[in-house]
Homo-oligomer: A and B are copies of this chain.
Amino acid sequence: MQTVGFGQHDHAACVGGGMKAAEDACEAQGLRLTKGRRRVLEILLQEHRAMGAYDILGMLSDEGFAAQPPVVYRALDFLVANGFAHKIQKLNAYIACAHPGDSHTPVFLICRECETVAETAAPLQSTLGEVAEKIGFKIENTIVEAEGMCPTCRDTETAV
């Protein structure tokens, strides 16, 4: 157990579970979880934080992986398109999905101090869809990113 996100969790299980979920989903849908895609997902799960594409690129490069930007961006496109990872628009960064397998609209809580990101679920989707439908807009995908202060940084701040 170690501290990741805003709390403790069994990180080994969280990495294993994420890989397993991706493998199963690919199997089921006839998708190919190729070497590069797999390695990028492993890195995202292992690090368990929002990472820039070039951060990932650096890690691949250190491992002797062929490492040009398109390699990483293609892998990320695949992972994001299939719900194994999400893009945090606010940070231009990518993070492994915390609820793989479930169909969901993720909500990200982003600490403005330390940039830690926690993924939670949207308690709103239906309402918003109705509002949009009234003006003829069909929502296909919703991004919710909330910026603020995480528990750790709040503690540190008040302590000062």
Contact = CB atoms under 8 A, between A and B. Distances in A.
Contact of A144 (B109, B137, B143): B143
A138 B124 contact: no
Interface stretch (A26-34, A39-47, A67-75, A149-157): A149-157
Interface string A94-121: 0000000000000101011000001010
Nearest to A120: B131
B136 A151 contact: yes
A111 B141 CA distance: 11
Nearest to A88: B89
A109 B124 contact: no
A150 B123 contact: no
Nearest to A152: B136
Residue of A122, A138, A154 ringed by the most chain B CB atoms within 10 A:
A138
Top 7 A-B residue pairs of the complex, sorted by shortest distance between their CB atoms: A136-B151, A89-B89, A124-B124, A140-B148, A139-B148, A143-B145, A139-B146
Interface of A: 6-7, 89-90, 107, 109, 111-112, 118, 120, 122-124, 127-128, 131-132, 135-151, 154
